């Protein structure tokens, strides 16, 4: 008789990790669950995983697309290593079914949040890096993001909203945009509000489930209101 595998067992097998991997358990533990149960959250792993993802994607860009210079390569990476893209990677490996989240986040359908999924994906990458080494983690990240990198490399000049806004403010003599971000709510369920200004002029505002998402929305709003002028 075959034993049913849990989603976490299936994830461990997919990653090539032991079923009892303690690091993987930490990687799928959101801060809301950690606060309720007195265990370690995945925040430290997320911090490390962010750096590993950046390096793996930069490595893929440099080795696969030699025609891209530093500037265009950075643009490609920024279009690939972001909340929405990493959340899609998390969904592709069914990471949501493995995550441990608190009751409040669960009631708010937290498993649908791109920020939560993206952070967990980075934490899983860190667990893989620590247990299996960089080469294994690199292959996993590059396999997950290779298609997105290829698509972005076809249009390396297409920039993200923050870069586009900065280029416009600098070109019009306003200098570099300044973002101000405040959060509302508990750390595990916060909403971020951002405003952006340049040369003392208010340009736009946005909200999101992460600081980065709020800044991007503010930049998009600012561009829509001023960039075509």
Q: Which residues are catalytic?
A: 50, 122
Closest CA to 204 of 154, 173, 171, 168: 168
b (16+ CB within 10 A) / e for 89-119:
bbeebebbebbbbbeebeeeebbebbbbbbb
Phi, psi for 57 (deg, rounded to 5): -70, -40
Residues near 128 by Cβ (< 8 Å), separated by ≥ 6? 15, 17, 136, 137, 140
DSSP state of 168: H
Block residue for tokens 């809301």: 32
Farthest CA pair distance, the chain = 72
d(CA 189, CA 154): 37
């Amino acid at each position: 008789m075959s034993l049913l595998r849990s989603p976490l067992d299936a994830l461990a097998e997919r990653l090539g990790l032991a079923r009892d991997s303690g690091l993987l358990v930490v990687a799928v533990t959101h801060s809301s669950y950690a606060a309720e149960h007195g265990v370690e959250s995945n925040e430290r792993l997320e911090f490390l995983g962010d750096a590993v993802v950046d390096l793996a994607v930069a490595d893929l860009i440099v080795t696969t697309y030699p025609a891209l210079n530093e500037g265009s390569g950075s643009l490609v990476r920024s279009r690939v290593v972001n909340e929405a893209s990493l959340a899609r990677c998390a969904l592709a490996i069914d990471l949501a079914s493995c995550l441990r989240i608190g009751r409040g986040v669960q009631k708010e359908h937290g498993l649908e949040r791109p920020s939560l999924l993206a952070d967990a994906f980075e934490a899983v990458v860190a667990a893989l890096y620590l247990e299996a080494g960089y080469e294994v983690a690199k292959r996993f990240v590059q396999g997950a993001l290779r298609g997105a990198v290829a698509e972005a490399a076809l249009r390396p000049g297409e920039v993200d909203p923050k870069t586009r806004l900065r280029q416009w403010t600098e070109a019009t003599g306003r200098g570099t945009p300044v973002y101000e971000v405040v959060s509302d709510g508990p750390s595990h369920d916060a909403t971020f509000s951002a405003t952006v200004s340049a040369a003392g002029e208010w340009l736009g505002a946005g909200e999101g489930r992460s600081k980065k998402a709020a800044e991007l929305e503010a930049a998009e709003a600012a561009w829509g209101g001023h960039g075509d002028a």
